[in-house]
Amino acid sequence: MSKKLGVIVPYRDRYEQLIQFKKRINEYLTKRGIDYELIVVEQDDAQLFNRGKLLNIGFNITQKDSSYFCFHDIDMLPTSKDCDYSFFKGVCKLSFYVSQFNFIPRPDTELGGVILIDKESFLHINGYSNNYWGWGVEDNDLALRCNIKKIPFGVRKGRYMSLAHKANGDTYGDAPSNETLKNRNYFDNIKKNTNNLFEDGLSTLEYKINDIIDCKNYSIYKVFL
């Protein structure tokens, strides 16, 4: 029996990228015979963007029907056969070569961009932290959780084309935003004392679904955080 993949995309205010992404990812996964469900989790409030919390929400919505998950940034399009979305037990980095970084290999255990993780592993680490508002660092927190819980790390050396977007405050070469600096400081404190690391995550997740839009080959969940 094949394992179903839940593709979760955090989203806000990038409609043109959404159009390009949903077309590309549906074609790519269908061609490779992947059994999948694609949902876009749209932050529908005026708070700072919270990528980790949106991904937790997507997992919560799809976990009943999926065996493993792909947390996928909307601005990354798969371009090579090495972008392998088949099942992986543990956590696996897919976006190894990315045009935004001049296709310089990304660190194996850097868990931003595009990753796979199986349901059991994600539940074991209590998902992402819900406490990173604004851009950056929620992926470092996730890597720390996986490392402490001894979740197997893997890497598949996929090549991804980055869609152009405005600097988000945590982009290499740009000065970090105040929100990003706050996130980095919060994470530095977490690393010094990890006793409470796993208390925050899926178990503390709160949100409200404002609307569900069913589209061809994907759904959009508009949520309040």
What pLDDT shows up at residue 173?
A: 54
CATH number at residue 13: 3.90.550.10
For the chain, the domain total comes to 1
The pTM of this model reads 0.94
Q: What confidence tens digit (pLDDT) does each residue in 192-215 have? A: 999 999 999 999 999 999 999 999
| Percent above pLDDT 90 for the chain | 83
Average pLDDT over residues 33-50: 97
Q: In a 3-state reduction of DSSP, which class is residue 101?
A: helix
What pLDDT shows up at residue 168?
A: 57
Q: Which range marks the domain in which residue 28 is found?
A: 5-224
Q: Which of 1, 46, 76 is nearest to 224 (CA)?
A: 46
Any idea which of 4-13, 84-93, 180-189 has the lowest mean pLDDT? 180-189
pLDDT at 87 over 80: yes
Determine the longest span between alpha carbons in the chain, in angstroms.
48
Separation CA 90–CA 148 (nearest Å): 13
Query: Mean pLDDT score of the chain, rounded to an integer?
Result: 93
What pLDDT shows up at residue 165?
A: 62
Q: What confidence tens digit (pLDDT) does each residue in 141-191 have? A: 999 999 999 999 999 999 999 998 665 555 555 677 888 899 999 999 999
For tokens 């740009």, name the residue: 174
Q: pLDDT-derived band of residue 16, with 50, 70 and 90 as boundaries?
A: very high
Separation CA 11–CA 17 (nearest Å): 10
